Structure 1
Amino acid sequence: MKNSNGNTALLVMDLQNGIVSRYAEKKDILLPFQKAVEAARQNDIPVIFVRVAFSEGYPENNPRNKMFSALSKSGGMTVIEPGTQIHESLQPQPNEPIVTKYRVSAFAGSNLEVILRSMEIDTLILCGISTSGVVLSTLREAADKDYAIRVLSDACLDGDPEVHRVLTEKVFPRQAEVMTADDWVNSMNPEA
C-alpha cells in the first residue's frame, strides 16, 4: 500500500502513559510528536504506534533480563493497565495499528515486521521515548533489515540530555538521516 510519500511509515514508540508521565514537568514536550503525527496523517503516511507491555503473569520476562525481570516481582506494565495505553494527546485513529512489544526494540516479539511487509513499507520515520532505548534499538534493527530510516531528533526524549545529543549527532547519522520534526514536515510540503 503506497502512500503519497512512497512507502513510508511513522513509528511513534513508547508514547504511553507510564513513560510520558516521567516528562510531565516539561511543558510542550509532546508538541514535536503531535506535529509529526498530524503531518503524517495529512500526507497519507501510515502512523504505527508501538508500546511496551506484558501479559498477565509476565510469561515474557526472563529472570536473566536485567531491565524487565523486576516487573515480575513489582507488578505493572501489563497490556490492560492505564500506564501501557497510548498517551491521550496522541490518540490513535481506528485505522492506526498499536503494536505491543516485549523488549526494547519495536521489532522484538511484536507483529511490526509483518505489518510493515504487508504495507510494503521500506522507509521508517522514528520518534519515541527514549532515545537510548527504543529509538536506538529499533534504528539498529531496522538498519540491519535494510530499511531507509529518518529520526526526528526533537521527537525523541531521553532522561540524559548528553546521551540524546551524542546519539542524534554522532551515532544515528551513520545509519539514518537525522532531522527535526519541522524539517520533516517542511520536506513534505516544499512550497509551504
Structure 2
Amino acid sequence: MSRQIERIDPAKSAMIVVDMQNDFVAQGAPLESAAARAMVPKLAEALQACRDYGIKVIYTAHVHRHDGSDLGPHRTNIAGRTVLLDGTPGTEIYPELTPQPGEHIIKKHRYSAFFGTDLDMILRQWGVETVIISGTTTENCCQATARDAMFRNYRVAFLSDATATRDYPDLGFGPMPNAEVHRATLVILAASTGHVMSVVDMKQRIVRSEARAAE
C-alpha cells in the first residue's frame, strides 16, 4: 500500500487530535510544550477545514487513574502522580480546540490512541480508511498513533505543522531542541509510515463529495 495520499475522501476519513490537553498545552503546565501551544492556530485551521468538508473529528486524552493502577512504565515519568489525572482540569482539551457536540474524546493510558481503547472499533464503524494525525507530542503519542494506524491498514496523513513537541534534556546522548526532535520524527514517518503533509496541502487534497458540493 502506497504511503502517498493523492485524494482525501471526507466520507472515508477522520481527523485524530492527539492529547491537546491543558497539562501539555497551557502556559506553565507541568508537561508544557510551548511549541504545541504555538501551533494551536494551525491546528484550529485544520479542524475547521475538516468540519467544513464533513470529515469526522475524534480527540484523545492521555489520562490515568488516581490510584496509579494503570500507570505501568509511566510510573517514573509522571512524578508524584499529580498530572494527567482523570477528571482533573489538566486533562481537559485546551479551550481553543474544544470539541464540538458529538465529537468523541478517547481516553487512553499509553502513547498510542489504539492501545487498550475502542478507537479502531469506532473508525471501522464509520467506514474510515484514512486518518489525519495532529496534536502532541510528535515523536511519542502522535507517532505511536500513526504507526498503530498503519499497522491496522489505515492510510496515514501526518500534519507537519499541526503537530509539535518539546525540548529534550541530555540523557547521555546530548540534548535535542524540539525543532530537531520534530523534524527527525517527520523524516522517519515519511519514510516508513505515512504521508507527511502541511495543513495547506491537506486542504488541497480533500475532495468535496457531490452531496456537499450541492449544498
CA 1:82–1:90 in structure 2 vs 1: closer, same or farther (change >3 Å)?
A: same
TM-aligned CA distance change 1:25 to 1:97, over 3 Å: closer
Q: How do 1:7-156 residues align onto structure 2 when only pairs under 5 Å count?
A: 7-21=12-26, 22-24=32-34, 28-62=38-72, 65=73, 67-71=74-78, 73-156=80-163
Cα distance in 2 for residues equivalent to 1:58 and 1:100:
15
Q: Tell me the distance in 1 between the aligned counterparts of 2:53 and 2:60.
A: 20
Residue aligned with 1:42, SS: helix
Structure 2's unaligned 5+ residue stretches are 1-7, 27-31, 167-177, 209-215
1:8 touches 1:45 (CA, 8 Å); kept in 2?
yes
Work out the CA distance in 2 between the residues paired with 1:59 and 1:188. 42
The amino acid that maps onto 1:182 is V
Q: Which moved more, 1:45-54 or 1:115-124?
A: 115-124
Q: Which runs of 4+ in 1 moved over 6 A?
A: none
- Paired residues in the alignment total 185
- Cα pair distance change 1:27/1:14, threshold 3 Å: closer
Aligned-residue Cα RMSD (Å) equals 2.2
Distance 2:35 2:184 in 1: 24
State the Cα distance separating 1:69 from its structure 2 match: 4.3
Normalising by structure 1, we get a TM-score of: 0.87
Q: Provide the TM-score with structure 2 as the length reference.
A: 0.79
